[in-house]
Structure 1
Amino acid sequence: MTVDPSAVGTVLPATTMTIDAGRLRLFAKAIGETNPIFTDEQAARAAGHATLPVPPTYLFAIELENPDPFAWLADLGVDLRHVLHGEQRFTYHSTAHAGDVVTVSPRITDVYSKKGGALDFVVKESTLTRADGSLVAELQSVLVVRHPGAGK
């Protein structure tokens, strides 16, 4: 079943969370980040940060905090066994830090097909703001949905 292009414009549930210093350290370690500003409070302060800054790409993980972060895909009729994460893009406007309360607000901005309908692409754009409304970043992800047997 192909993804219905009428999904474009769908606003998905927002996620709000407080950025935890311990989770930032674990994430930095998991991605192999060796710069101490991401794991050591003193190093972060010496570099001009109030506390630990968010490591690169961490913002993508915030939406995964939802109890069922892929429910929106299932609502579109997508079989999760055939989904591939195709692309991720970040536009940073300010640095988030441990202790910041942030909200990610996603929406579907495009749906298109290639390979004679064998592949659907779902583009999701998200804005990430602090509790005071200031913009932290804009994220864009492209998910690829395979349709086995289609387009042959």
Structure 2
Amino acid sequence: MVRFNSRWLALEGHEFPAFQARIERDRVVRYLDFLGQQDAEVRQESACDDIGPALPTFPFSLEMEAGVVAAVAALLEIEASRLLHAEQSFTYHRPLRCGDLVTVMSWLRDVTWKPERRVCFFVKESHFRVDGRLTVSSRSVYAIRTAGEDT
């Protein structure tokens, strides 16, 4: 089991490198197919309309592909398998559509150590921008259960 590292508390506010991802029709269609949300004919016709309501977690898949979870683990100097993805929420400010070039900026908003439970929580916030305008914001909470405090 991982030991709590007091250095983690100083990581609050850490900004991860920004990255860009283009939303492509094939990716959206595959995502809809995986979720079983639409039949093939409807999916092909409407897949690139406002995809927010149909794909609330789609932005997270962009982060996963870019290796954000691995980056969090590397920052904490632990194995990614030690991170528990505890909670996630999304707010859609504007439609997200096929063809959009999305710029993603993420940072650790909050780091909280709960010594009585030996759990450390990391709140990561991300902003997804298209043409410089905020399109989606997300909040992800990761947790690490520890063996205790570092010495």
Task: Report the TM-score when normalising by structure 2.
Answer: 0.82
Distance 1:68 1:60 in 2: 9
Give unmatched runs, 5+ long, in structure 1.
45-50
Determine the structure 2 residue equivalent to 1:114: 114
> Residues 28-84 of structure 1: CA distance to partner in whole angstroms, max 9, x if unpaired?
12223237798222x46xxxxxx3432221011111222575123222223323211
8 A contact 1:15–1:65 mirrored in 2: no
| Structure 2 partner of 1:64 | 64
User: Which ranges of 4 or more aligned residues in structure 1 deviate by more than 6 Å?
Assistant: 35-38
Q: Give the equivalent residue in structure 2 for 1:124.
A: 124
Pairwise CA distance, 1:117: 5.3
Aligned twin of 2:4: 2
Larger relative contact order (Cα-Cα within 8 Å, sequence gap ≥ 6): 2
Task: Report whether the alignment pairs 1:32 with 2:32.
Answer: no
Please, which moves more after superposition, 74-83 or 57-66?
A: 74-83
| Unpaired runs of at least 5, structure 2 | none
Change (3 A) 1:79 1:118: farther
Aligned residues: 142
Q: Identity percentage over the alignment? A: 30
How is 1:40-59 mapped onto 2 (pairs within 5 angstroms)?
A: 40-41=44-45, 43=46, 51-54=48-51, 55-59=55-59
Q: Tell me if the contact between 2:4 and 2:148 (Cα under 8 Å) persists in the aligned partners.
A: no
Contact 1:28 1:38 in 2 (8 A): no
